[in-house]
Amino acid sequence: MTAINAVHLDERLRGRDFLSLHDFSRAEIFYMLEVAQNLKAMQKAGRSHHVLEGKTLAMIFTKSSTRTRVSFEVGMYQLGGQALFLSSNDIQIGRGEPIRDTARVLSRFVDGIMIRTFDHQDVVELAKYADVPVINGLTDLLHPCQVLADLLTIIEHQGRTDGRKLTYIGDGNNMAHELMFGGAKAGMHVVICTPENYRPDPEIVRLATADALAEGGSITLCSDPLEAARGAHVLYTDVWASMGQEGEAEARAQAFQGFQINRQIMDVADPQAIVLHCLPAHRGEEITDEVLESPQSVVFDEAENRLHAQKAIMALMM
C-alpha cells in the first residue's frame, strides 16, 4: 500500500455527498476502499494522518447509535478534525425548524454534515440545501457507510468481491437495499432471501439489477434460506425488527421463523464462507450464538471497519 497524505489525496470526490453507493461508479467505490485500507494501515502503524486538520463535522442524530457515533467521532479525531454531536433534542430541527434552514445555517459553521435519521427524504433535502458534503449515516431506506465497511471486510477476508456470492437472509430493509447497490457495483452475486411479505423495494431492485449486469454480477430474490445460502461466500443478516418497528416485533418474529443463520445454513454455504452482521445482534433470533462466535464470523472486524471506511469518506469528500 502507498501511504497517503493531504497532498496526495485525489480530489475527484471532493465536495460530493455520500447518500448511497448507487451514486458512485465502481472505480470511485474501489478508490474509497483503497484509501480506507491506506488509512487503516497508517493508524495500525501509529502514523499521523491528520488530513482534516482544523475541519469540523456536524453529526445529527435522530436515531440512537453505538457504532455510527463512536466511529465518526473517533474518525474525525484521528483525521485531525473535530466532530460535534447534535441530537434532535439539541438543535432546532427537533422543534420544527425546516431542514433546508438547518442545512444552510450549518453550512456556514462546519465542513461536513453526517446525519442518522428515519426518513431518507430528510437526508436528500439536507444535501440539496447544504453547501458542504452530507454523509448518510443511516436512514430507513439505505445504509451506505455500513456497506462500504462490509466491502472492505470482504476484500480483507476473501481477497476480492468479483464473482463472490453474498447471501442476505432476513428483512428487505435498508441493509438489503444498500447491499444490493454496493454488491452490484462490486461485481457480486447478491441473493436477498426474505419472507414473501418483506421483500425489498422494487425500484431499488431494478436499479441494482442494472448496475449488477454492467459489472458482471447479479441480483436474485428468493424465500428459501437453505437454497439461498448454498455455495455462498458471504452470509449476512440483520435484526428482524429495526428501530421504529418495535410495535411489529411479535408479528415479525412469527414471519421470520426459519430465516436464521445457524449451523444448518453454514453447512450448505462455501466451506470458507464468512458471516457478517451490521449489529446489534439479537442472538437466538436472526443468528445463533454458535455462529456469531464461530471462527467464520468476522462481525467485529466488520464493526471496526466502519471507522476506516468512514475516515476514507470524510477525507475524500471534506
Q: What is the pLDDT of residues 12-50, one digit of tens each?
A: 899 999 999 999 999 999 999 999 999 999 999 999 999
Q: Residues 6 or more apart from 236 whose CB is under 8 A from it?
A: 150, 166, 167, 168, 169, 175, 179, 275, 276, 277
pLDDT in tens, 214-240: 999 999 999 999 999 999 999 999 999
Q: What DSSP letter does each residue of 115-158 carry, written as one string?
A: EE-S-HHHHHHHHHH-SS-EEEEE-SS--HHHHHHHHHHHHHHH
Extract the C-alpha cell encoding 253: 418474529
Mean pLDDT across the chain: 95
Domain boundaries, the chain: 21-142+306-317, 145-243+253-303
**pLDDT at site 245:** 75
Average pLDDT on 277-288 reads 97
Residue 241 has pLDDT above 90, yes or no: no
Judge whether 189 counts as a catalytic residue.
no
Residue 5 has pLDDT above 60, yes or no: no
User: What's the CA gap between 28 and 48, in Å, rounded?
Assistant: 25
**pLDDT at site 7:** 41
Q: Residues 6 or more apart from 169 whose CB is under 8 A from it?
A: 193, 194, 225, 228, 229, 235, 236, 237, 259, 260, 261, 265, 286
Confidence bin at 4 (pLDDT 50/70/90):
low
297 is in an annotated binding site: no
**pLDDT at site 236:** 98
Q: Which CATH entry fits the domain spanning 21-142+306-317: 3.20.20.70, 3.40.50.1370, 1.10.287.3510, 3.40.50.2300?
A: 3.40.50.1370
**CATH code reported for the domain at 145-243+253-303:** 3.40.50.1370
157 is in an annotated binding site: no
Give me the percent of the chain exceeding a pLDDT of 70: 97
User: What's the CA gap between 168 and 184, in Å, rounded?
Assistant: 14
Judge whether 306 counts as a catalytic residue.
yes
Cα torsion 301, 302, 306, 309: sign: positive
Confidence bin at 91 (pLDDT 50/70/90):
confident
Given the residues 22, 49, 120, 143, select the one marked as catalytic.
143
**pLDDT at site 247:** 80
Identical fold between 21-142+306-317 and 145-243+253-303 = yes
Residue 63 has pLDDT above 50, yes or no: yes
Residue 254 has pLDDT above 60, yes or no: yes
Judge whether 238 counts as a catalytic residue.
yes
Cα torsion 97, 99, 100, 106: sign: positive
Judge whether 193 counts as a catalytic residue.
no
pLDDT in tens, 102-132: 999 999 999 999 999 999 999 999 999 999 9
Do the Cβ atoms of 113 and 133 come closer than 8 Å?
yes
Average pLDDT on 305-315 reads 98
141 is in an annotated binding site: no
CA 53 to chain centre: 25
CA 203 to chain centre: 19
**pLDDT at site 9:** 83
278 is in an annotated binding site: yes
Q: What DSSP letter does each residue of 240-272 carry, written as one string?
A: SS-TT-GGGHHHHHHHTTT--B-HHHHHHS-TT
Residue 1 has pLDDT above 50, yes or no: no
153 is in an annotated binding site: no
Given the residues 49, 277, 278, 308, select the one marked as catalytic.
278
Judge whether 224 counts as a catalytic residue.
no
Which has more pLDDT, 95 or 11?
Answer: 11
Residue 94 has pLDDT above 70, yes or no: no
Worst-scoring range by mean pLDDT, 46-55, 170-179, 197-206, 237-246? 237-246
Given the residues 22, 49, 116, 189, select the one marked as catalytic.
116
